[in-house]
Amino acid sequence: MSIRMFVADLDGTLLNDKGEVSRGALAAIERLRSRGVEFIPATGRSLPECVHVMKAIGHEGRMIAAGGALVHECRRGDVLLRRPIAADLVKRLVEVVSRHGHLAHLLQDHTATTHDYLMIGEQEFDPATKWWFDTLPLTYRRIEKLTDMDAMHHTVRVGTVALGDELGAVAQDVEATLGGLVTAQHWPALTAEKAIQTRTHLLETFAARVSKWTSVAALAALDGVHREEIAAIGDGLNDFELIREAGLGMAMGNADPRIAAVARVQVATNSAEGFAESVERALAS
């Protein structure tokens, strides 16, 4: 079967080490469009956190945001699919994060609230969080303690940021407390590390079974697209299920070894036009 849907991660995949879209990548996206293949960006970022990338590539179609918790139509920013965390689970996740002395970062659906993030805790912003809010057009609301359950609604991700490897214990606590009720991941925040030269790690938790792949599968089912007609390219741990399940799952040359292990193909790095190579591989399949 020919490829009908091409799904791509952003950081470390479509974007090079400078956080830019290369000319080769732009040309590759145009190749997909000219062949009638739908290009779907799939990122851990929210739409406001990557709207500049969507504009750079002229993307007005569907995109998967927040690790699969949101699907947007980019032209107007409409939400096509939302998978929020239940308010009672949000409360319990905030309690776990706070118990370990970290500031809780609640990513919320900005189309349903007045802000992008609800920050809960008395701690100061860490350098990576401060850099993120200073760099991107984001809004946030801050409260010291969780007292208003209504504020928990529209939350699609609960997370935190820390230096070094401090978050392993938090992730273990989440698993012990809420295992099976939520999906939790933690890994180095490479974009922040390159910008501020610190060993920054992220913890991200979602509603159960939320991933980039489950959103891709939902869109494919709506369109009558078979698994064998889906190509995907990525590099990070939040791409694992996507790369494993897609008909043609490809790993970047700079991918985590666990991603490379489940990919059918490995291409060049994101600084050596690996994304463009993945497009050519998909179109030739």
Q: Which amino acid belongs to residue 99?
A: R
Q: In what order do the strands lie in the sheet with 5-8?
A: 38-41, 5-8, 230-234, 248-251, 265-266
C-alpha distances out from residue 207 to 83, 110, 165, 183, Å: 7, 18, 24, 6
| Nearest partner of 3 among 218, 248, 235, 241, judged by Cα | 248
C-alpha angle 117-47-250 in degrees, rounded to nearest 5: 120
**CATH class of the domain whose range is 5-82+210-284:** alpha beta
Neighbours of 272 (CB within 10 A): 17
Q: Which amino acid belongs to residue 135?
A: T
Q: Which amino acid belongs to residue 225?
A: V
Distance CA 191, CA 71 (A): 23
Say if residues 35 and 57 touch (Cβ distance below 8 Å): no
Distance CA 61, CA 40 (A): 8
Asked if pLDDT for residue 32 goes beyond 90, the answer is yes
Q: What is the DSSP letter of 111?
A: T
With cut-offs at 50, 70 and 90, classify the pLDDT of residue 191: low
User: What fold is seen in the domain 87-207?
Assistant: 3.30.1240
With cut-offs at 50, 70 and 90, classify the pLDDT of residue 196: very low
Token pair for 24: 């080769």
pLDDT digits (tens, 9 = 90+) for 217-267: 999 999 999 999 999 999 999 999 999 999 999 999 999 999 999 999 999
Average confidence (pLDDT) over 95-113: 95
User: Same topology for domains 5-82+210-284 and 87-207, yes or no?
Assistant: no
pLDDT digits (tens, 9 = 90+) for 201-211: 889 999 999 99
Q: What is the DSSP letter of 239?
A: G
**Domain ranges for the chain:** 5-82+210-284, 87-207
Distance CA 68, CA 239 (A): 10
Percent of the chain with pLDDT over 70: 96
